[in-house]
Structure 1
């Protein structure tokens, strides 16, 4: 494909991605009010699952082609990217995240559950169908728990209004996911023109590209001061990855865990979890300082992987 055309596709799809994230935020807020749940819980239940759809489709299609490409390393790597580069960049560009006491308690519970599941996974050598079913049940339990705890007063609406908002939300989320695909695809082709190594592309462009939906929604949410939606999205996405995505993959085919291949990632993952947990628990906010720390953590991980440090 012509280089100029690739750049045009990249720029246009990036613009569409940015605009569609605004639509997702707009209809997320409207839906949360109409159905009577907090924005944090809506971000966890609906937005985080929607932005994790690329990972879910990858798991399903990998099985279809008899190549299970989604491993425990992919899941933990995605969670680390969400808690470091995605959250860090969104804070730096969107501004400080402030949290109220109720949101603080729910987020700490989510972080605890995600961390606990991560630790339990390392006790197994292979994720079987039974383990996959347990993960899916835990995912369902988490949704039910936070839905019940996140109910607030509903706004009066006509049935036609709710139907319209649901359709517009689904449409905007679809556009967000499709535009993300074109951004990643065009970026990969541009990178190949400059003879960048596949490992470099995978650790940078692909890793960041698959997190574009979360990042776009994050920045928009913070700019509009919808902090509950932002944090529900990012931490909910982590829980979704490690329960729903890994659960589906385990049921489709057993996933072997190579602990040795994850030794470089694990320390960075838990440091990022600690930084977020500490900021939520004791400061009740995430500032530009925490954003810089999280971004630097991701950069250090990349340097470590490529044996630069």
Structure 2
């Protein structure tokens, strides 16, 4: 039964992503804002909802390893496999603002995470803990990011008021299509995570390994199918904005909310994964700066990096 549910989940993810990209890109045109902003907000928040659900439930159950491992594993998956496959299918054009502000914000969030979980090193405490006050700091960072996005969106609207909206493009229809796609993505992602985890436990995998692989990959499938769908439709802004926005939401909102609900104790092994996440985010930044395009070569390198990382964590655990 688990295998059947896994296939059904994948089907919902693929169809949901197709509807979600179509609806959200049309909403961007109706709002007269660049697709990258829709990718950074509506799409990113929507595709991050499985991570939020899993991590918050894990926090409520006192399972910090799942909560932290899910976010870190998902972010690594997004930066490598999601961007890599999308770029391999269709080169992703990168706007200058993305390299100047949005990707650096990802680096700031990942750097802040490393600092806030390093209690034994920096404050000589007995254990590393992501406390409620750390969670509040993350949520404050998120409010700054949202203020920036809204400001850019309003500025963009003023500059593009002369552009005509294509005939037949309606708010109601596109909102409904976007919502239907999001529901299918969330429900499909939930089916994939639950059935995939059940299969993994049956195969004898450890909890830590399941958290970093099956759950992290499962909750990132919405980002993967959405970005692939966007790349195939040549919506580079949504494809890249989805990844950048999702990684910001995962750290600042998902971990922020999880830590506020229940302080998260930090497993020593996660430090290596956080540093790998920072290194890969830097690599994405460097690739974005080369001709403001992430092409097939960069995509292949990123996919290879994820395969290497996956082999490493399987052998480590």
Normalising by the smaller structure, the TM-score range is: 0.7 to 0.9
| 1:117 alignment counterpart | 112
> Which consecutive unaligned segments of at least 5 residues does structure 2 have?
120-127
Give the one of 98, 121, 140 matched to 2:143. 140
| Equivalent residue, structure 2, for 1:174 | 183
User: Contact 1:71/1:257 (CA < 8 Å) preserved in 2?
Assistant: no
Aligned to 1:276: 284
Of 130, 134, 139, 2:133 maps to: 130
Partner in structure 2 of residue 265 of structure 1: 273
Taking a change above 3 Å as real, the CA distance of residues 63 and 268 of structure 1, as seen in their structure-2 partners, is closer
Question: Which range moves more in the overlay, 134-143 or 179-188?
Answer: 179-188
Partner of residue 85, structure 2: 89
Task: Spell out, residue by residue over 1:101-156, the C-alpha distance to the aligned partner (whole angstroms, 9 max, x if none).
Answer: 34443433333433442343244443322222221121011011022113333565
Normalised to the residue count of structure 2, the TM-score between the two structures is 0.83
- Partner in structure 1 of residue 7 of structure 2: 11
Match of 1:234 in 2: 243
Bigger mean CA offset, 176-185 vs 218-227 = 176-185
1:74 and 2:38 correspond: no
How big is the shift at 1:196?
4.6
Instruction: Report how many residues are paired.
Output: 301
Asked if the contact 1:96/1:285 (under 8 Å) is kept, the reply is yes
CA offset digits 1:45-66 (Å, max 9, x no partner): 1111111111212233234445
- Residue 202 of structure 1 deviates from its aligned partner by 4.4
Q: Give 2:21's aligned residue.
A: 25
Instruction: Note the C-alpha offset of 1:271.
Output: 2.6
Task: State the shift of 1:295 in Å.
Answer: 1.9
Match of 1:248 among 254, 257, 274: 257
Aligned residues of 2:110 and 2:251 also touching (Cα < 8 A) = no
Mark the CA change 1:10 to 1:75 in structure 2 (over 3 Å): closer, same or farther.
closer
Cα distance 1:96–1:242, how it changes in 2: closer, same or farther (>3 A)?
Answer: same
Give SS of 2:192's match: helix
> Per the alignment, do residues 112 and 202 of structure 1 end up closer, same or farther by CA in structure 2, a change over 3 Å counting?
closer
Out of 95, 108, 116, the position equivalent to 1:100 is 95
* Aligned counterparts of 2:92 and 2:24: Cα–Cα separation in 1: 18
Q: Secondary structure at the match of 1:283?
A: coil
- Under a length normalisation based on structure 1, what TM-score does the superposition of the two structures give? 0.85
Name the CA distance, whole Å, in 1 between partners of 2:103 and 2:181: 30
Change (3 A) 1:88 1:169: same
Counterpart pick for 1:209 among 201, 204, 218: 218
Unaligned runs of 5+ in 1: none
Q: Determine if contact 1:203/1:302 at 8 Å carries over to the other structure.
A: no
Runs ≥4 residues deviating over 6 A: none
| Alignment match, 2:48 | 52
Q: Is the 8 A contact 2:130 2:259 kept in 1?
A: yes
How far, CA to CA, are the matches of 2:263 and 2:311 in structure 1? Answer: 31
Deviation at 1:190, TM superposition (A): 4.5
